[in-house]
Structure 1
Amino acid sequence: MSAPARPLGYWLKHLDNLLERHFEATLSGLGVSRREWQVLNTLAGGGPVGRPGLTDALAPFWTEDGPTLDEVLARLTERGWIPAGADEGLALTDVGRAAHTQVRAGVETTRAALLTGLSGEQYAETVRVLSVMAGNVEAALAAR
């Protein structure tokens, strides 16, 4: 196997930056930020979620210079997408579920563009390989 012209790290960073830009463009047209979408989508995935579970689920996506979870939850509450005062049992309201359905359609269009030319098996294998690599690095760091 010949060495690729650019290393894995380049493609990971490049793709991450492109995904951020593409999703932000899609979501801003729908009046939602990427972080708002991530919370909305996580809450749409099942029953009520507590703050610790939500924080753990979204940790890889949040940065020091971005909005805090409290800020995003406040905006979703102002829109009526989650009930006011909920802390441990965060869940979408009927209005929030309707908003999720609308925003999800735009997100699915963006995801379809990302996956053009890839089979379901190729996507699944890519995710599997990246997961194994992440596990390898986590194990190496834990061993230090």
Structure 2
Amino acid sequence: MKSVIIALACLAAAAVASPQFGLPQQQQFLQNPPVAILRDERQDQGNGEFAYTFEADNGISESRRGFVGSLGQSNMEGSYRFPLPDGSFAEVRYVADENGFRAESPFIPTPHPLPAHAIEQIRIAEEQRARGIRFD
């Protein structure tokens, strides 16, 4: 009798833990409705030059242009934008070329400024290096 009760308890636990279908999925669909693509344009010249523009009805967009760099690499510049929870939008502009990847946006964190004593120590160290002073 004890094993029957344990088996029924395990069966009940499995039923409660199983994924729920129906209403919860419908609620999830209503919270995250499908996104319509408003614009999707792509151009590829086949020689490293290209252009790409994408825009969705939820405010997400991206625009990118590629071109051949001075060393034969593919350079890119562009921007992307997405909505924030408060209803505003974040936009990031970027360049990727011979000098690396550089992004600009007020939403990208920046390091804290160095304290005055650290700046003074760096200045002293540069002065010592210029005079040929080396520390081991």
Higher relative contact order (CA 8 A, sep 6+): 1
Shorter-chain TM-score: what band?
under 0.3
In our comparison, the structure showing a higher alpha carbon Rg is 2
**Could you tell me the TM-score, scaled by structure 1's length?**
0.21
Larger strand percent: 2
